[in-house]
Amino acid sequence: MRLTQDISIEQQQKLLMTPELRQAIAILQMSTLELSEHVQKELEENPFLEVREEQPEEGEGDNDDDSDNKMEEWEEYFNDRDIGYTPREKKEEEKSFENFVARRPSLYEHLEFQLHIASNKEDDLAIGTYLIGSIDSNGYLCVGLDEVANKLNVSREKVDRALELIQSFHPHGVGARNLAECLLLQLRYYGKESQIARDIISDHLGDLGRGRLNKIAQALAVSVQEVQDIGDLIRTLDPRPGLQYSSSDETKYVLPDVFVEKVEGEYIVVVNDFNFPRLIINRAYESILRQPDSFSQDAKKYLEEKMGSAIWLIRSIEQRRMTLYKVARCIVDIQSEFLDRGVEYLKPLNLKQVADIIEVHESTVSRATTNKYIQTPQGLFELKYFFSTGVQSYGTEKVSSKSIKYMLEEIIAAEDPTKPLSDDAITKVLNNKGIRISRRTVAKYRQELGILSTMARRRY
């Protein structure tokens, strides 16, 4: 076999993900809050970016002389030294009422505070602190008591006493080792503990969740009504008491990215771009860049990179605004009946339909609707909410699955609790409304809504 080297010319077409294209895609996916933070960061790092100020009122005069003086100062600065990126000094934190809001204590801090109030014994404090440190965010103890006794070299009785002390703390039910113990601790605190309740929680909690009240009543030799009352009481308890003191960092704030209002019978779509400043190119730096002989090559390269980054950022933000407006406008036009009359009139819609109308790719529509919210006359919704599959009706148009789920909830809410409707009965009701749907689909939608089965919903 003979090996040879050869040179050939070949023409190919490739799609390259340039840094600018990645930036445009990332900005399109950002929510209003995320974009606001990104713009503030870029303003701090890129000298070519500046905020467009409001137009001066009449009588304030022009600032041309000041601009000329600043230009001369900048030119002297560039001539005297080389330019490289240096982070700006951190601005002094602005004084705001939000900076003085008291931080809510964590679960660990809340329990430790109660421990020092409840006891001043060294053993109780040492063991109690170790146990509190072993409680998870849900409020459950995640370590064995024998392990604690061996680790701290103390007796098991002292560990039991310390745990009993912690289980008397607020939130009630904290320090439990399982769900049953957590519920029993809460019943004991509220004074609602009984032998039947203890038996149901200890041995029949799974059957209670599945609505098998007759089975529990037969096993405990009590009436179904009594089991039902105990079940109602148990459902008022908190299975995860520790979450009352979850981290405040988990709080999520939703800011509408699009507003829709009806003005004189027509829906107006407004993209929410009021929360971040309008960006423009700094004229002083732009003029300096036009004089390449007045500074070094390193300074020139730095300025050109920053200039290109600033221009692409402004273009990407404008492109995001236009794309988001087109997508929202298309959704509003298609779902106008929903905006007028409610969820029952929501139409089936998918990404491809919107993409074809506004002449973009499906992935662009997907990115434009990710983590975006729209404020409508019917309330605040995620843009993804308006995309749903359809079920064939007896007419010519399909019915949205979300509309069917809404009707299913209304049907079940209006049923007689002593004689709840079966999935077959619900199917017939929907069929009478002109919706062609099977019993299996009704059962699927019911489970997705978290609605119990017929037997579990029955009230005795």
Element holding 207 (H helix, E strand): helix 205-209
Residue among 431, 435, 427, 433 nearest 393 (CA)? 435
Rounded distance, CA 209 to CA 216, Å? 11
Q: What is the sign, positive or negative, of the torsion defined by CA atoms of 319, 321, 325, 327?
A: positive
Cα 350 to Cα 398: distance, rounded to the nearest angstrom: 13
Q: Which residue reads 């800011």 in tokens? A: 255
User: Residue ranges of the domains in the chain?
Assistant: 107-245, 258-386, 392-457
CA dist 333 and 357 (Å) reads 11
The pair of three-digit structure tokens given for residue 80, joined into one six-digit string: 């005297």
The pair of structure tokens assigned to 39 is 């713009």
Give, for 380, the enclosing helix (H) or strand (E): strand 379-382
Pick the closest to residue 317 from 42, 5, 7 (CA basis): 42
CATH architecture of 392-457: Orthogonal Bundle (1.10)
| pLDDT score of 153 | 92
In contact, 302 and 46? CB cutoff 8 Å: no
Asked if 451 contacts 443 with a C-beta cutoff of 8 angstroms, the reply is no
Q: What is the DSSP string of 10-45?
A: ---------HHHHHHHHHHH--HHHHHHHHHHHHHH
Listed residue (125, 130, 123) closest to 145, CA to CA: 130
Tokens of 68: 């000329």
Are the C-beta atoms of residues 139 and 173 closer than 8 Å to each other? yes
Q: Are 241 and 182 in contact (CB under 8 A)?
A: yes
DSSP notation for 271-312: E---SSPPEEE-HHHHHHHT-GGGS-HHHHHHHHHHHHHHHH
Listed residue (295, 292, 286, 174) closest to 240, CA to CA = 174
Distance CA(126)–CA(154), nearest Å, equals: 10
Q: Is 9 left (phi over 0), alpha (psi -120 to 50) or beta?
A: beta
Distances, alpha carbon 391 to alpha carbons 63, 354, 383, in Å: 65, 19, 21
Both tokens assigned to 298 = 């390193």
> Distance between CA atoms of 413 and 69, rounded to whole angstroms?
74
Residues with Cβ within 8 Å of 223's Cβ and at least 6 positions away in sequence, in order, are 217
Return the bridge partners of 267, or none. Answer: 262
Residues 27 and 38: beta-carbon distance below 8 Å: yes
From first to last of its 460 residues, what are the pLDDT tens digits of the chain?
Answer: 567 777 878 887 766 667 777 888 888 888 888 888 888 888 888 888 888 776 555 544 455 555 555 555 555 545 544 444 444 444 455 555 555 555 678 899 999 999 999 988 888 899 999 999 999 989 999 999 999 999 999 999 999 999 999 999 999 999 999 999 999 999 999 998 899 999 999 999 888 888 888 899 999 999 999 999 999 999 999 999 998 887 645 556 778 999 999 998 899 999 988 877 788 888 877 777 777 676 777 877 888 888 888 888 889 999 999 999 999 999 999 999 999 988 888 899 999 999 999 999 999 999 999 889 999 999 999 999 999 887 777 666 788 888 899 999 999 999 998 899 999 999 999 988 888 889 999 999 999 998 888 888 888 8
DSSP letter string, 100-161: GPPPPPPHHHHHHHHHHHH---HHHHHHHHHHHHTB-TTSBB-S-HHHHHHHHT--HHHHHH
CB-based burial label for 297 (10 Å; 0-12, 13-18, 19+):
exposed
Cα 327 from Cα 331, distance rounded (Å): 6
| pLDDT at residue 1 in the model | 58
On whether the CB atoms of residues 376 and 260 are closer than 8 A, the answer is yes
